[in-house]
Structure 1
């Protein structure tokens, strides 16, 4: 289904963290409190208004379900499931209901992944050579540029909602990342994109699309971090591109998972070695 006035709606979130070292400077990637991977993902949602209505309806049903009345995350005072769906915080049975609904949405998911062990070593080398730490925002912005480079010329207008990171909106920095993505596309293809781009940092409770991308990232993260397939594969057809940027076994720029190279557990470098 084509979107009205050729407007595309994108929702951006991250999974994992950018913690690399303990207080003594030792690498703690993969230990409790520090994920093995960092991901940024975007959900392109065709019928965003319908998604809002259906997620709100499901939340109302679940909050009124006697099975969940004593679950802490379901209480309005907890500011969790009763306010917004968040895969990490939601009760297992709630999560299954949300996943079931999300399989019916018309969405396309694009994800860029960095291996934090590789990032930690690069951070160490940079600091030793230049006495300079790698800015975590730069890592995030780089993945944003990669994800949007080939996306923004396909519509007359792009509305992009970013999940807020911390206390600042970083609106100017995000706009710069999007502008650079356009320039990178123009440099590669000699095609100038004059589409309008509107950026808005927001909380998941404000935009249902952020709840969608959160769930898809959580499922993919479980595959990478825990080799857990059961959440990823029911949704697998919605992931249109997964860029595993540090798996350079076959190509210098990483491994791209698409319809012609479907992601499976036995293909992951981090599992098969």
Structure 2
């Protein structure tokens, strides 16, 4: 699909996908077993999120567009270089991006998301565990990405066609990697006892953030969840908690019993205590 094509009509067939964190595990030296996880600039986890906009996509997009136009003409927000540069260089001006927005602007956009846009989000979290990466993913980022994405897609069998509007993120969102993730999801659905087989048609629509404003919803949901896992900070996540219907912490084996690694607002809320953040320190990983 053309990178400038916008999702249209209702959101029944569209899902908006983005990622947060990085997939760096080891030093870049070939064959290195030196873990970089938790070092400055290297995340402790990698996550993929999916948003379902309920209702007319044009109306939801318009609400965000009005917000962006306000930012483009607001002297206070334009005093922040990261905002002014997007107003100047963005496809249609400023576009929301949580990691680049100042705190004052983040709060305003989070309120807009909560109060003005009807959507739900699901997030799959992959703790970066070297033993899992070596044993399960054969040290391949492609396999790590596909494994997480397949968990996100395994309940989408009823959506046909399923149109994945995906934030462009370099090699991870290449069509080859995306198709591999879908293939893994199909195989997982065939083996599953709680999911039905995934035989629906899947289309990819990979776009830059500034070409599809609805991707900002996924970006902000991911950023708020990432703050919990990386910093133990829940205040932003709490603002969106009613919209985020599931956070699945895939590799947390300590909470597999009774599905405690599935965080839902009513039954098992996501908190720093629930994920064991206080005990989450960069360990001295044993030699594999």
TM-score by length of 1: 0.85
- Greater shift, 86-95 or 257-266, is seen at 257-266
SS at match of 1:29: coil
Alignment of 1:1-273 (within 5 A): 7-23=12-28, 25=32, 26-47=34-55, 48-75=57-84, 76-77=87-88, 79=90, 82-104=93-115, 105-116=117-128, 118=129, 120-123=130-133, 125=134, 134-150=139-155, 152-166=156-170, 169-189=173-193, 191-251=196-256, 255-258=261-264, 259-272=266-279
The question of whether the paired residues in 1 share the 8 Å contact of 2:16 and 2:166 is answered with yes
The question of whether the paired residues in 1 share the 8 Å contact of 2:92 and 2:210 is answered with no
Q: CA deviation at 1:270?
A: 2.9
Find runs of 4+ consecutive structure 1 residues off by over 6 angstroms.
Answer: 3-6
State how far apart, in whole Å, the 1-side matches of 2:11 and 2:225 are. Answer: 29
* Superimposed CA distance per residue, residues 190-235 of structure 1 (whole angstroms, 9 cap, x where no aligned partner): 8445433221111111212211100000000011111111100111
- Greater shift, 250-259 or 205-214, is seen at 250-259
The question of whether the paired residues in 2 share the 8 Å contact of 1:7 and 1:155 is answered with yes
- Greater shift, 6-15 or 216-225, is seen at 6-15
State how far apart, in whole Å, the 1-side matches of 2:235 and 2:225 are. Answer: 10
SS at match of 1:42: strand
Aligned length: 263
- Greater shift, 66-75 or 50-59, is seen at 66-75
Q: CA deviation at 1:79?
A: 4.5
* Superimposed CA distance per residue, residues 32-74 of structure 1 (whole angstroms, 9 cap, x where no aligned partner): 1101111111111123222211111101011211212322122
Unaligned runs of 5+ in 2: 1-7, 281-288
The question of whether the paired residues in 2 share the 8 Å contact of 1:163 and 1:203 is answered with yes
Q: CA deviation at 1:185?
A: 2.1
The question of whether the paired residues in 2 share the 8 Å contact of 1:81 and 1:89 is answered with no
The question of whether the paired residues in 1 share the 8 Å contact of 2:24 and 2:42 is answered with yes
State how far apart, in whole Å, the 2-side matches of 1:55 and 1:122 are. Answer: 39
TM-score by length of 2: 0.81
State how far apart, in whole Å, the 2-side matches of 1:248 and 1:168 are. Answer: 26
State how far apart, in whole Å, the 1-side matches of 2:171 and 2:26 are. Answer: 23
State how far apart, in whole Å, the 2-side matches of 1:107 and 1:38 are. Answer: 23
State how far apart, in whole Å, the 2-side matches of 1:141 and 1:50 are. Answer: 32
State how far apart, in whole Å, the 2-side matches of 1:121 and 1:191 are. Answer: 30
The question of whether the paired residues in 2 share the 8 Å contact of 1:219 and 1:232 is answered with yes
C-alpha spacing 1:138/1:63, structure 2 compared with 1 (3 Å): same
